[in-house]
Amino acid sequence: MAFYQKYRPKRFSDLIGENHIKDTLKEAILRNRLSHAYLLSGPRGTGKTSTARLLAKAFNCLEIDKSRKEKKEISEPCNRCRSCKEIEEGKAIDLIEIDAASHTKVDEIREVIDKAKFAPASSLKKIYIIDEVHMLSISSFNALLKTLEEPPEHSVFILATTEAQKLPATIISRTQRFDFQRIGLADIVKNLKKIVQSENIEIDDDALEIIALNAEGAHRDAISLLEQVSSISKKLTKEEVLRILGFSDYRNIVDYVGAIFDTNPEEGLKIAHRLYQSGDDMLLFSRQVTEILRKTLLFNVTSSLAFEDTAENMETIKILSKKADSQRIIELIDIFIRIEKDIQSASNSILPIEMATIESCLAGTKNNVPEPEKNDKSVKNLTVISQNNESEAKEVKIPNVEKDDGKKVINANQVSVEIWKKIIDNIKLRNSTLAALLRDTEPIEQQGNKIILGVKFPFHKDKISEPKNIQIIEEVTGELSGLKCSVHCQLIKKKRNSNGAGDDKELLEAAEEIFK
C-alpha cells in the first residue's frame, strides 16, 4: 500500500494544518449542524479528499449517531463501527466517489444524480464525493444544480476542486465552502518524522527538509517523495536524497547565482557544466535557480523573509540580496523562465543554460558600466568593475575625443592595448568565437569616425567583417567609450620567423582557441 494511503488521516485531529477547517467541522458534528453540500477548495495534496472521507465517516458513524441520542459529545468518527470500517476498507456501497475529469458527459452525471433520490442501502446517509468538480460540463453543472437546490434528505454532496474559480456561482452559493491552504514546512517535516519512525527509516533532518521544501506545501506530494527515496535505501543522507530526486545541491545553485551577480560567466559556465556532466537535470537546475532568484527578490523588496525555507538557506538569501538590485533580479528571472521550454525541446539541454548564463552576465556588465560625461573634450577616466571581484576597480584611459562634423569620434592611434583588450573581453560575453578572432587584431588607423582594424589572416578578416560581427564590435566599443564609430578591417603583413613558420603557428593557435 502506498504511503499516502497507509497514512491517510483517520480522524479530524490527524489532519496536518487546516486548523480552521477541522475545528469548524468538529463543532458542526458535535452540534449536529451538518450541511447537505460542501465545497472543498485548494491546492493539490492539502487534504481535501481526506477531509471528504472523514466527513463521510462522521455522517454515518454509528457511535456519533448513538451519542446524539444519549446526549454525549462526540465529534470524531470512532473508526470501530461497521460503517467506519466499510469506508476505511473501501467497501461502503453508499459512498460514491466520482472523478469529474473522466465523467464529464451529462448523461453520466444525470445517471449518478438520479440514484441520489433513492434511500441508502445500509448507511444513515448516501454520500457523493465529486473530485475535480470544475471539470464538469455546463450541462452537467445544470443537472447537479437542480439536485443541490432540492436535495434528498438522505443524500450529501461533497465537491472537491483545485480551481474553484471555474465553478458556476450558482453551485458555490448552494454549498458550505472551505478553502484549504498549502501546508507549512514545519508541519510537513513533523509528520514525515512520524512516518519514518513507523517505517524504521534512518534519514537526516536536512534531507526531510529538502523533501518538504520540494513538495511546495502539498503534504501528499511530500509523503510520495519520501516513499520514493526510501525505496532505494532505508538509510538516507541529504546528498543521497538530492541525487535520487535529481536536484542539484543547494550550495552549487547559490554559487551559480553568485557568479551571475558578479558578472562572471566563466565561473557560472564551469558550475553548470560540472552539474550537467554529473547527470543533474538541467530543467530542475533552471527551476532551482529561478526559485532562489524569486526568494532573493522578495527579500529585497520586503526586507523580510516572505517565504519558508531552512534557517541556513535564509541566511544565504540575505547574503545574495546584497549583490543585486530588484530590477536586475527581475530581468534574470525573466531569462530563466523563458528558457524552460528551450531546455525541454533542445537536443542538448545544457545549451539554453549556457545562453542564459552569458545573457545574464552580459546584462550585469551593461548595468555596471557608468555613463561618461558628454561635454568634456579632454581625456576621460572610465572605471571598470573587475568580473572576478566586485570590490576591485581599476582606472583605464579611453581614447581622445575629437569633433568631426558635430560627432564624437575615436582617435584610433591613441587606443591603448589595455583598452582594446577590455573591448575584446566584453565582446567575449556576447560572442566568444568573435573574441577569439579579434585576439591578434589592433586598431591601426582612424579616418574621421572610422576605425581601421589591422588583421593578420584573410580568414579572420572575412569572418570579422560579417555584418553581425561588425555590429557587435561597434556596439561594445560605443558602450565602453560613449562614442559613435564605424569599424572596418584591413590585412596587415606579419614578419615571419627565420624558419618561416611565424604566421602558421599563430594561425594554428587562433584556430585552437576558436574551436576548443
Q: Do domains 3-179 and 250-367 have the same CATH topology?
A: no
pLDDT score, position 463: 84
Rounded CA separation 266/92 (Å):
63
Per-residue pLDDT of the chain (516 residues; tens, 9 = 90+): 789 888 899 999 999 888 889 999 999 999 889 999 999 999 999 999 999 999 999 999 999 999 888 888 889 999 999 999 999 998 999 999 988 877 666 777 777 778 888 889 889 999 999 999 998 888 888 888 988 988 888 999 999 999 999 999 999 999 999 999 988 888 999 999 999 999 999 998 888 998 998 888 888 999 999 998 888 888 888 888 888 887 888 889 999 999 999 999 999 999 999 999 988 899 999 999 999 999 999 988 886 666 778 888 888 888 898 888 888 999 999 999 999 988 988 888 999 999 999 989 887 665 554 444 434 333 333 333 333 333 333 333 335 434 334 333 344 444 566 678 888 888 888 887 788 888 888 888 767 678 888 888 777 888 889 888 888 888 888 777 666 788 889 888 755 444 444 444 554 455 444 444
pLDDT of residue 372: 41
C-alpha torsion angle, residues 466, 471, 472, 475 (rounded to 10): 160
State the CATH architecture for 399-515: 2-Layer Sandwich (3.30)
Query: Long-range CB contacts (< 8 A, 24+ apart) of 102-107?
Result: 103/136, 104/135, 104/136, 104/137, 104/140, 105/137, 105/140, 106/137, 106/139, 106/140, 106/143
- The pLDDT score that the predictor gives to residue 268 is 93
**Beta strand pairing call for 155-161 and 126-131:** parallel
In terms of DSSP bridges, do strands 450-455 and 442-447 run parallel, antiparallel, or are they unpaired? Answer: antiparallel
Task: Enumerate the domain spans of the chain.
Answer: 3-179, 185-245, 250-367, 399-515
pLDDT at position 364 is 63
**Fold category of 250-367 in CATH:** Zinc Finger, Delta Prime; domain 3 (1.20.272)
> Which residues, other chains included, contact 49 with Cβ-Cβ below 8 Å and sequence gap of 6+?
129, 131, 160
DSSP, residue by residue, 264-308: -HHHHHHHHHHHHHTT--HHHHHHHHHHHHHHHHHHHHHSS--S-
Query: Which CATH number is 185-245 given?
Result: 1.10.8.60
* The pLDDT of residue 213: 87
Amino acid of residue 263: T
Model pTM?
0.62
The third-level CATH classification (topology) of the domain covering 3-179 is Rossmann fold (3.40.50)
Residue with cell 533542445: 346
Residue 348, Cβ neighbours under 10 Å: how many? 11
CA distance 179 to 160: 10
Q: Which of 390, 266, 243 is nearest to 324 (CA)?
A: 390
**Dihedral class, residue 181 (left if φ above 0, else alpha if ψ from -120 to 50, else beta):** beta
- Strand 126-131, strand 95-99: pairing: parallel
Residue type at 187?
Answer: D
DSSP H helices in 349-499: 350-368, 417-430, 432-437, 458-464, 467-481
Side chain identity at residue 132, one-letter code: E
DSSP annotation of 373? P
The C-alpha atoms of residue 2 and residue 19 are separated, in whole angstroms, by 26
pLDDT recorded at residue 449: 73
Q: How are the residues of the chain apportioned to helix, strand and coil, as percentages rounded to the nearest 5?
A: 55, 15, 30
Element spanning 444, H or E: strand 442-447
Cell numbers standing for residue 440: 591578434
Tell me the three cell numbers of residue 63: 457511535
Query: What distance in Å separates the CA atoms of residue 252 and residue 250, rounded to the nearest whole number?
Result: 5
Grid cell at residue 10: 483517520
User: How far, in Å, CA of 208 to CA of 230, rounded?
Assistant: 11
399-426 residues labelled b (16+ CB within 10 A) or e (exposed): bebeeeeeebbbebeebeeebbebbbeb
Grid coordinates representing 377 are 573634450
Predicted pLDDT at 21:
92
Nearby residues of 1 by Cβ (< 8 Å), 6 or more positions away = none
- Which backbone phi and psi does 465 adopt, to 5 degrees? -80, -5
